[in-house]
Amino acid sequence: MAKRLNVLATGGAGFIGSHVVVELIAAGHGVVILDNFENAAPDVPARLGRITGVDIPTIRADVRDKEMVRRALGRHGIDAVIHLAGKKAVGEAVAQPLLYYDANLGGGVALLEAMQESGVGKLLFSSSATVYGPGAAPMDEDHPVAPSNPYGRTKLMLEEIITDAVAAGAIESAISLRYFNPAGAHPSGLIGEDPRGTPNNLFPFIAQTAAGRHAKVRVFGDDYDTPDGTGVRDYIHVVDLARGHVAALSHLMAAGMPQVHERFNLGTGRGYSVKEALTTFSRACGFQVPYEIVARRAGDVATCVACPDRAARVLGWRAEMTLDQMCADHLAFQREVA
Ligand SMILES: NC(=O)c1ccc[n+]([C@@H]2O[C@H](COP(=O)([O-])OP(=O)(O)OC[C@H]3O[C@@H](n4cnc5c(N)ncnc54)[C@H](O)[C@@H]3O)[C@@H](O)[C@H]2O)c1
């Protein structure tokens, strides 16, 4: 087994972060969570304890609080940071861009300063496929970047800030992971995504509709240039995504790569339409989840699918789980929280 590392996971109580914590512990690493719980249920650390059998140290703090972050890095002997904390709702980012620049860029800069002051040199950053501009799928990491909204711009800007910080030696090396469309939940049903209010993402919307919390799933447009007219996305099981972080962490810690900031897509390379996702989820539920076709949503593209080859070649990682598994696991979680 690889060397045991102590990892600080900012946003580690959130949807993706909680799954990353489980996979890090499964790989033999130690984890400390730092989260302000603005978008996480208070019992997530206890649920993580039930899954992993480990009492995970959890610090309730804002990542913009540099002093708190610095203390966490020192006190726990942290070797590397996985930075997941941030805001992620595109509509909210368009309405309140300054809130997003403060949270996502302010948080990132405070973290980098705390790392520099503490001598912690290794960073994995949760970036997003939303940094890419439009164009033909599948998209590799050299696809031109041109985010279409303030949320995507915070991701791209923080990637660029990290590049500058690495070049100047403020931190040693970094990897930005560009996620496509995380879906599903841990097979235990104990952790997953259950957003407050109306979900922005398709899977929670379908699951909450199946549970009777919304009358119908709104499908935004069925006149795109795709096989059935609905948008095509690269859905990736959140457990696969979390394992991608473990692989990226090993690569990041490997000797001989100082002063590098690398980017990797985390996706499956396979696209599914909204209608295919609805059909598969309905099959898992045993009944047709009601839906209606409504107008296209501004800013949506027809198809967004990853080329995941760089991650396969360099990290030795590929997504393995199917859309059926994403639906079954999300449903198990929905039943647990409903
Ligand atoms: N879910 C997606 O579709 C997706 C896609 C691409 C990238 N990402 C990125 O991945 C990361 C994790 O996303 P997620 O889906 O798990 O979201 P999430 O909201 O479930 O998790 C984010 C966590 O960070 C915490 N947090 C937010 N602001 C904080 C702050 N200032 N200080 C400390 N903690 C804070 C929240 O309480 C939450 O637990 C985010 O950076 C997001 O932008 C998500």
Q: Is 320 exposed, middle or buried (0-12, 13-18, 19+ CB in 10 A)?
A: exposed
Q: What is the pLDDT of residues 28-77, one digit of tens each?
A: 999 999 999 999 999 999 999 999 999 999 999 999 999 999 999 999 99
Alpha helices in 27-149 (DSSP H): 44-52, 66-75, 90-95, 97-100, 107-118
| Cβ 140 under 6 angstroms from ligand 1 | no
pLDDT score of 338: 61
Per the CB < 8 A criterion, the answer to whether 17 and 43 are in contact is no
pLDDT score of 194: 83
Q: Check whether residue 157 and residue 290 sit in a common domain.
A: no
Per the CB < 8 A criterion, the answer to whether 81 and 123 are in contact is yes
| Cβ 108 under 6 angstroms from ligand 1 | no
- Ligand 1 atom 30: the closest Cα is on which residue? 62
Q: Check whether residue 95 and residue 239 sit in a common domain.
A: yes
- Measured CA distances, 205 to 185, 202, 213, 267 (Å): 14, 5, 9, 21
Tell me how many domains the chain contains. 2
pLDDT score of 337: 78
| Cβ 36 under 6 angstroms from ligand 1 | yes
Per the CB < 8 A criterion, the answer to whether 22 and 242 are in contact is yes
Of 250, 288, 300, nearest in space to 91 by CA: 300
Model confidence at 1: pLDDT above 60: no
Please state the rounded mean pLDDT for residues 209-233.
94
Which residue segment(s) compose the domain that 285 sits in? 202-232+269-308+323-337
H/E segment holding residue 163: helix 150-167
Model confidence at 240: pLDDT above 80: yes
Of 8, 19, 35, 81, which is best to mutate to test ligand 1, by the most ligand atoms within 8 angstroms of its C-beta? Answer: 35
Q: Is residue 1 in some structural domain?
A: no
Q: Check whether residue 173 and residue 301 sit in a common domain.
A: no
Q: Check whether residue 273 and residue 263 sit in a common domain.
A: no
Q: What is the pLDDT of residues 258-314, one digit of tens each?
A: 789 999 999 999 999 999 999 999 999 999 999 999 999 887 889 999 999 999 999
Does the pTM exceed 0.95? yes
Averaged confidence pLDDT in the chain: 95
Give buried/exposed letters for 12-45 (b at 16+ CB in 10 A, else e).
bbbbbbbbbbbbbbebebbbbbbbbbebbbeebb
Q: Check whether residue 206 and residue 283 sit in a common domain.
A: yes
The yes-or-no answer on residue 151 being catalytic is: yes
Q: Check whether residue 257 and residue 224 sit in a common domain.
A: no
Q: Check whether residue 153 and residue 80 sit in a common domain.
A: yes
pLDDT score of 13: 98
Q: What is the pLDDT of residues 194-215, one digit of tens each?
A: 887 788 889 999 999 998 999 9
pLDDT score of 91: 87
Q: Is residue 189 in some structural domain?
A: no
